[in-house]
Amino acid sequence: MPKLHVRVLRQRPDTQARYDHFDVEVPDDANVIDVIEACWRQDQNLMYRHACHHASCGTCAVRVDGKEVLPCIVPLTACKSTDLVIEPLRNFPVVGDLVVDVSAFFQRQAAAGMVITRDAEETIDGHPFQPSELLQSDGKLERRHYNRFENCVECGICLSACPTLSATDGFFGPAGLAAVHRAWEKSTNATERAALLDLADRDGGVWQCHGAYECSEACPQEFDPAEAIMDLRRALIQRKVAALFGGGR
Amino acid sequence: MSLHSTNRARPRKPWQWIDIRGRRTGMWAFALNRLTGIGLVVYLYLHFVMLSQLFMGRAAWDGFVELAHSPLVLAFDVVLFAGLIIHGLNGFRVALNGFGIGVRQQKTFFYGLMAVGALLLAISTYLIFTL
């Protein structure tokens, strides 16, 4: 059983942030969430969130040694040392300790009419995928580009990793723009596609992204929001150039 | 539809723009562009101050030109060129990414352009100290 020294950033909205130190022992095959739970057993005032324990709910997202992770799927063996620093996600208001208020994330999706829906079972033309169609021999999704966003577990990690959001509230953020991209890609209605591009073109849209690609690097589901943002930019540039020469809008 | 929501304020920490701890290539490139961008803006104002010597007569200008040939100022010229090259090439990469070019290869693209930049800087340094 490895012995760990853990520093956890403790805070409430009205108190000064501080690091509390915990010495814990966990099994060799433990994940980081087990370490957090071991800390909680020592101090049950420690606030953290968790639910599924297998990376499908996204609620437990925190930063471990500065990097955003889902602690439920990160084994201790992936950590570089037995000293861990566990902190809440960045760029969100802190509710308490490791719990942040992610409601902005969901409200922005809703405000843009882009509430994430899980309808990956159907293709653009309404065809239901069969598992055999989805998987190649290496286990990757065949229609990967289209299906990618269905992998999003809405954990908020990409917003925490985004340097633009460190300085502004105005940016829609990687997950939201990726949702716009997905809807744009999926839609076959020209008016709807134009409206989605208009949305991406607004203040706080794709032009505010500075291309640090941290969202894609940090995503635990290997979804690629940065690529989606750059693809929206490409489509917008194409549309603007076409408009210069009298074509389209 | 709107891109803005009305959530309560959250802390803004612009210094995180250059916080590269635990971050990867794209973030280093982003931080480099921020730092070189700020440096170039500072240099622009410094440049105006230098040019203002022209209003102070021939003697003042000649004195400045002599100073500009000192090894220390030439070393600053090398730093200036480094900033210009890094910012320019990195900006070129980001602009091409915006056209959908090299998005998936952005890391290789960055390292490749920085290698070109290192070569350009070596040539510039040689010319600055020999011409």
Q: What CATH number is associated with residue B91?
A: 1.20.1300.10
Residue contact B99–A212, C-beta within 8 A = no
Same domain, residue pair A128 and A237: yes
Confidence at B117, pLDDT banded by 50, 70, 90: very high
Interface contact B14-A113, CB threshold 8 A: no
Among B3, B7, B11, whose Cβ lies nearest the Cβ of A205? B3
Question: What integer pLDDT is reported at residue A140 of this predicted model?
Answer: 45
Supply the CATH number for residue A53's domain. Answer: 3.10.20.30
What's the Cα-to-Cα distance from A75 to each of A38, A54, A105, B67, rounded to whole Å? 15, 12, 27, 60
Residue A249 domain-assigned (yes or no): no
Answer positive or negative: Cα dihedral of B67, B69, B74, B77: positive
Cα–Cα distance, A31 to A15 (Å, whole number): 30
- Mean pLDDT, to the nearest integer, of B56-81? 89
Q: How far apart are CA A222 and CA A230, in angstroms?
A: 17
* Domain that residue A197 falls in: 103-244
Q: What is the mean pLDDT of residues B73-84?
A: 94
Mutate to test the interface with B, among A108, A166, A172, A240 (most CBs of B within 10 A): A166
More confident residue, B93 or A124: B93
Q: What is the pLDDT of residue A115?
A: 52
Which of A73, A100, A127 terminates a domain? The answer is A100
Axis-axis angle for helices B106-130, B71-98 (nearest 10): 150
Residue B70 lies in a domain: yes
A113 and A95 in one domain?
Answer: no
The answer to whether the CB atoms of B21 and A66 lie below 8 A apart is yes
B88 domain-assigned: yes
Residues of chain A where predicted confidence (pLDDT) is lower than 50? 117-124, 129-148
Closest CA to A210 of B131, B95, B55, B130: B95
Q: A90 and A117, same structural domain?
A: no
pLDDT range class, residue B100, cuts 50, 70, 90: confident
Last-in-domain residue among A55, A71, A100: A100
What pLDDT shows up at residue B62?
87
Residue range A5-22, pLDDT digits in tens: 999 999 987 888 999 999
Tokens of A202: 């607004």
* Whether A30 and A46 share a structural domain: yes
